[in-house]
Every structure is written in structure tokens, then in C-alpha cells.
């Protein structure tokens, strides 16, 4: 029993010591240089894209809920979707502001970021309109679906500008890790 506990604690201590070294050695090609981490300029843009994508997906889902033959969305669900989309947009705006500050001296990058900000502002406005329509007792499902469609279109346009921005900054989209191949020999099938 004591040897098992010693082995367990030794393994746990070894794992705790190995974790920082494992993560510290992972290369990040999207970072600019070694000092960029210290200057807080090591921004990849993926955080911004994630929140933008979440807001767009929420707009699309809410749109489809409103456009069904018999809409199945309640006022509470609509309000919750608005709050979540607004939160995602705000987080995306904050990450985009960091990206803009990091590249303030690059006019092409700033121009694309300002275009994205305009699309986000229009999406925020669509959020406000949806919240206004959805909070009414006799909510007009057609007006609510138009607000969702407007938000969806604006965020799709922002995504197109984001693709341009990533090309300008030479940021590669995150890639799915390669599937591990099993090199171990499998036991022979019984006959």
C-alpha cells in the first residue's frame, strides 16, 4: 500500500514538473518575435475570430427558429440569444481592438479592421432591434427574423473581411491535428 502511494505521488510530481516544459516548447508561427510576448503584441487573431463566429452562429440559429412555419422561440429564448450574441460581439470587438493597436502603423491592416468594425456596429444595431422587437408582448416574428438575418449578413461580411485581414497579417487558420496512425502490430485474428 505504501509503495503504491509513493509511486502515485512520484508520478503526480513528475507530471506536474513536466507540464510547463511541454507547453513552453510548442512553436507558435503566428507570433512576431521573442519580445512580442513581453510587449503583449503576440496576438494571433484567432480569439477575435472565435467570438465573431459564435455571434454569427447564434444569429443564424435564432433566424431559423423565427422562420419556421410555427415559430418555436419564446421571448425569453430570444432575449437570451440577444444577450449571448451581444456578449460574443463585445468579446470579438475587444480582441479586434488589441489587434488594431498592435498594427496601428500599417494602413492597409487598419483599413480592413475599420471595415470589420463597421460590420460589427451594424450587427450590434441588429441585436438592439431584435431585443426591442422580441421584448414586446405580441412580438412580430417577421421583424425578429429580419433582425437576425441582418445580423447574420453583417457577420458574414465581417468574416470575409477577416479572411482578408488574416492574409494581410499572414495568419494561418488553426489546423486540425493530424490523426495518429497506429504503428503497433495488431494481434493476429484467431482462426
pLDDT digits (tens, 9 = 90+) for 6-38: 554 455 444 444 444 444 444 444 445 555 555
Q: What is the pTM of this model?
A: 0.62
Higher pLDDT, 70 or 52: 52
Tell me the C-alpha distance between 13 and 29, whole Å. Answer: 31
> According to CATH, what is the number of the domain 41-169?
1.20.1440.210
pLDDT at 152: 87
Spatial CA neighbour of 121 closest among 80, 81, 154, 160: 154
Confidence of residue 125 (pLDDT cuts 50, 70, 90): very high
Please state the domain extents for the chain: 41-169
- Cβ(93)–Cβ(123) below 8 Å: no
Three-state SS annotation for 21-73: HHHHCCCCCCCCCCHHHHCCCCCCCHHHHHHHHHHHHHHHHHHHHHCCCCCCC
pLDDT at 110: 93
- Cα angle 112, 96, 124 (rounded to 5 degrees) comes to 90
Amino acid at each position: 500500500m505504501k509503495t503504491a502511494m509513493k509511486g502515485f505521488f512520484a508520478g503526480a510530481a513528475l507530471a506536474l514538473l513536466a507540464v510547463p516544459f511541454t507547453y513552453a516548447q510548442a512553436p507558435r508561427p503566428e507570433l512576431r518575435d521573442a519580445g512580442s510576448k513581453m510587449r503583449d503584441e503576440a496576438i494571433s487573431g484567432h480569439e477575435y475570430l472565435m467570438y465573431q463566429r459564435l455571434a454569427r452562429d447564434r444569429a443564424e440559429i435564432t433566424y431559423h427558429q423565427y422562420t419556421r412555419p410555427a415559430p418555436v422561440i419564446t421571448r425569453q429564448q430570444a432575449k437570451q440569444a440577444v444577450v449571448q450574441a451581444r456578449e460574443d460581439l463585445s468579446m470579438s470587438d475587444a480582441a479586434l481592438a488589441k489587434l488594431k493597436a498592435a498594427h496601428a502603423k500599417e494602413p492597409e491592416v487598419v483599413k480592413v479592421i475599420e471595415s470589420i468594425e463597421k460590420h460589427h456596429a451594424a450587427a450590434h444595431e441588429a441585436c438592439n432591434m431584435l431585443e426591442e422587437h422580441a421584448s414586446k408582448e405580441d412580438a412580430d416574428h417577421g421583424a425578429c427574423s429580419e433582425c437576425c438575418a441582418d445580423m447574420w449578413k453583417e457577420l458574414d461580411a465581417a468574416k470575409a473581411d477577416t479572411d482578408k485581414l488574416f492574409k494581410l497579417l499572414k495568419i494561418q487558420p488553426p489546423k486540425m491535428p493530424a490523426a495518429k496512425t497506429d504503428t503497433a502490430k495488431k494481434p493476429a485474428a484467431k482462426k
